[in-house]
Structure 1
């Protein structure tokens, strides 16, 4: 037997010597040191939590066990149990949680026991030992992990240790061989706990007292001691303060009862004093029980609210994800029948465009500039009709012109700044339209209307611009209003396609463009929050 031992916790009532003088037989409480942090045993029912707890206390199954061990996979109780435990000179409370974190939807009884467990952890958690069989992770075991995250917070993983039970002789003898046998799910779980793991010795193969049995336990204790400080959170801190207040009230009531007892004993004798003391103690115990029940109810209400808040957060995330997916599906595009000019002088519809075509992208000093189409981000027929802006204008030669593009696509104004199509105003906004002398002329927009189309194309030239229906337009849409910035953002794929030309010609977004839009919309959503 090592220095680890079970100890009786100090009572908050009058000391044992005085109780023996009163000859009052009171029910003994479960061993628990209220000022010591907790080592929490969690895991699926039947995983070996109680067995590990008894091992750590150096109690064999033949002795009077601190934690009751079930012979089957049904939990012997729905109540958590505790024992005082020492590693060297440090005192801890081991708490066994039989099955209370096994379920996604805890019922009233289980939720109350979770609240009691949280209450016991009010002075901090030294370590959370997640015990599971050395076979595979199950949904029930995942529920345990989710339960810990829900009630103690994700930061609790910094204090969690994976403990494998029911290991065979070979794996226990050589943990390195055992580690190599893990599948990806087990490895990810252990890594999420800082790669802290140990083996709970199988008593059928390595009985208590054997060298390897003790080596496994000492390894686990070393890992526990290596954890810095103890874990607490807002919920535990609130409970600790409430317990301290209850303890203060209990001490004051104890002192008052003792004072009254001494006074009555002095005046009327021992028998009367004992009767009065018991009466007062019963009344105080009833008040303490009512206060404790109230504390448990408030704790349950807090946990209920925590669950509701989590469900609301998940619902909000789903909604935001749906909105983001809808935005990505919409994109920004030209109408498929929009016309552009090739370097050969031929006028074609955008539906005929191919990667490598050189299209008119700008006019400088009376000289037409043509640029390669290096990427067709998406093209084809939508499964729904999309809102397009139809820009009506009068060309420099007096003829009428039209340009159709999605509302969040950019065109250039008279200052060579880009502006959303939806932000143009008839009779006020000016766009740049080419004339017969190879010049861009600022032209006032005649009219703006909305149309619905299900045919579209989005493509990019190396210049980042294109002259569509005679209008100087950007290749970019639904992005920050900076042509230079977007040219920089698309620099990697422009370089990549010089060595490996794109073959993408689908009705869904090119992966690189989808990545950029997802990142942009996520940033916008975060900023708006």
Structure 2
């Protein structure tokens, strides 16, 4: 018996409706069932939660777990998961933003995860330890925003792991332990949160264990529909097309097999069938590889775009300001508590305290800055560099984006060195690329930078008074508890405001 004959006997002489391959089944399955994503940093307890939800534990676990902080999950694993009468695919993702994994591997796995989410996302369960948000955990959040968009947060649930006994039993007591950052983070998720029961304290079968999982499932059920976006829709269409082509090729091969078998015999039909199948499989492999690489390139471009935007800060780090002591310093030297020149009124200089440094740093790429050129009242040339969507005051004390200033037309307010702000015409606008930036806020909401009256706000509604009102809570808070934030990462309150503004802007754009 030859190999071909054996193959056909094993498959019952090629059925009239051959079963698709595993790859085809997987593709069709994923484009017809929404997913529940388990995300979080390595060691946070994603796999453990997944096994709890699937009602598996110990040696019967579906998702491999580890007691250490090295990831057992190197690839996204999935399983069928049902909540009442609804079927989902639950996906246990690896720590795809961990620094100990090669970039190429990370991108490959993100691409595979996106492919598995083609139908749409029912819920994103962000699992993190009930301590504090770390930079690694924040990286995961940035990743979700990058690859799925800000609106994906409407489908995200915060899941606390490794909670203590009292915290698990009494949610009100647990909430009291949240610091400001955690509270803001949970609010960003629409105040959707749950607890993953610690199996060492509440093993499967106990009342508290079941109650925690029931609360989580109820939260998932409360979400409206499934989340999708242009990327997922495009991926789904590609998978549907591939599944259709596979079915058509199967039908064509079956038809050819039947015809050749009648005219030239069974052996010839089997040989031709296998030849066609190998050719079709190779074309499918090439098409799949092409689609996968296109997806990787698309995601890499999104990463690069995000990195370019993340600098979004405010001023170039080497911009100069004047302190109340009379000393002129570069913004790189600024500290919370410094009093800087913020305005000039009625012949008097006004100084205001720096109460928050939203973010400051140096990226490994260059950020787009607007360089505003002007002539000072004393005849010397001046320049101010700031991001394109940062606000500067014009002669009418209205704020304008730096990118909207018009050479030869717009007048900005510049200090004349004699305790007076003088309107001067913008001479020129050029684009500069810098990798150093700082964003900070004074209690006045303004600062005189390189002699130019500027706002502390950027990329927000064009109202200085409105932004002063929005920042009122953090201004009050820092009176009693001074901020120690001085990082590349945006301060959580500012991040919260940006996200809220994003939602509002997108909502209004629909009307």
Would the TM-score normalized by the shorter structure come out above 0.5? yes
Partner-residue secondary structure (3-state), 1:79: coil
**Deviations 1:48-92 (CA, angstroms, capped at 9, x unpaired):** 1111111111112231x2212223221124211111212122221
Contact 1:377 1:513 (C-alpha < 8 Å) held by counterparts: no
| Partner of residue 248 from structure 1, selected from 232, 244, 250 | 244
Partner of 2:376: 387
CA separation in 2, counterparts of 1:73 and 1:387? Answer: 58
2:13 aligned with 1:41, yes or no? Answer: no
Structure 1 residue 476 displacement after superposition: 6.2
CA separation in 1, counterparts of 2:204 and 2:264? Answer: 57
CA separation in 1, counterparts of 2:453 and 2:108? Answer: 46
Partner-residue secondary structure (3-state), 1:62: helix
Partner-residue secondary structure (3-state), 1:118: helix
Partner of 1:96: 92
Structure 1 residue 479 displacement after superposition: 10
CA separation in 2, counterparts of 1:453 and 1:168? Answer: 58
Q: TM-score, normalised by structure 2?
A: 0.61
2:291 aligned with 1:295, yes or no? Answer: yes
2:151 aligned with 1:155, yes or no? Answer: yes
| 1:324–1:386 distance in 2 versus 1, CA, 3 Å | farther
Partner of 2:278: 282
2:198 aligned with 1:202, yes or no? Answer: yes
| 1:220–1:273 distance in 2 versus 1, CA, 3 Å | farther
**Deviations 1:458-492 (CA, angstroms, capped at 9, x unpaired):** 3xxxxxxxxxxxxxxxx764699xxxxxxxxxxxx
CA separation in 2, counterparts of 1:170 and 1:266? Answer: 76
Partner of 2:171: 175
- Superposition CA RMSD, Å: 4.2
Show the 5 A alignment for 1:23-38: 32-38=29-35
Q: Tell which structure's C-alpha radius of gyration is larger.
A: 1
| 1:38–1:455 distance in 2 versus 1, CA, 3 Å | same
Partner-residue secondary structure (3-state), 1:518: strand
Partner of 1:322: 316
Partner of 1:193: 189
**Matched positions, count:** 361
Show the 5 A alignment for 1:407-426: none
Partner of 2:337: none
Partner of 1:511: 444
Partner of 1:493: none
Structure 1 residue 113 displacement after superposition: 1.1
Partner of 1:59: 56
**Deviations 1:400-443 (CA, angstroms, capped at 9, x unpaired):** xxxxxxxx989xxxxxxxxxxx99xxxxxxxxxxxxxxxxxxxx
CA separation in 2, counterparts of 1:387 and 1:105? Answer: 53
| 1:219–1:375 distance in 2 versus 1, CA, 3 Å | farther
| Partner of residue 141 from structure 1, selected from 122, 137, 140 | 137
Partner of 1:499: none
Alignment gaps of 5+ in structure 1: 1-16, 330-354, 356-372, 380-384, 391-407, 411-421, 424-451, 459-474, 481-508
CA separation in 2, counterparts of 1:234 and 1:196? Answer: 25
Structure 1 residue 124 displacement after superposition: 1.0
CA separation in 2, counterparts of 1:20 and 1:212? Answer: 52
Show the 5 A alignment for 1:332-411: 376-378=348-350, 387-389=376-378
Contact 2:133 2:181 (C-alpha < 8 Å) held by counterparts: yes
**Deviations 1:192-227 (CA, angstroms, capped at 9, x unpaired):** 111110011112222222222121111111111111
CA separation in 1, counterparts of 2:107 and 2:128? Answer: 22
2:418 aligned with 1:456, yes or no? Answer: yes
CA separation in 2, counterparts of 1:48 and 1:123? Answer: 26
CA separation in 2, counterparts of 1:233 and 1:239? Answer: 10
| 1:274–1:121 distance in 2 versus 1, CA, 3 Å | same
Structure 1 residue 164 displacement after superposition: 0.8
**Deviations 1:348-388 (CA, angstroms, capped at 9, x unpaired):** xxxxxxx9xxxxxxxxxxxxxxxxx8671359xxxxx9832
Contact 2:445 2:457 (C-alpha < 8 Å) held by counterparts: no
CA separation in 2, counterparts of 1:236 and 1:228? Answer: 18
Partner-residue secondary structure (3-state), 1:456: coil
Structure 1 residue 43 displacement after superposition: 0.5
CA separation in 1, counterparts of 2:105 and 2:459? Answer: 43
Contact 2:73 2:94 (C-alpha < 8 Å) held by counterparts: yes
| 1:302–1:26 distance in 2 versus 1, CA, 3 Å | closer
CA separation in 2, counterparts of 1:121 and 1:22? Answer: 33
Partner of 2:474: none
Contact 1:22 1:274 (C-alpha < 8 Å) held by counterparts: no
| 1:97–1:377 distance in 2 versus 1, CA, 3 Å | same
Show the 5 A alignment for 1:438-453: none
CA separation in 2, counterparts of 1:211 and 1:266? Answer: 67
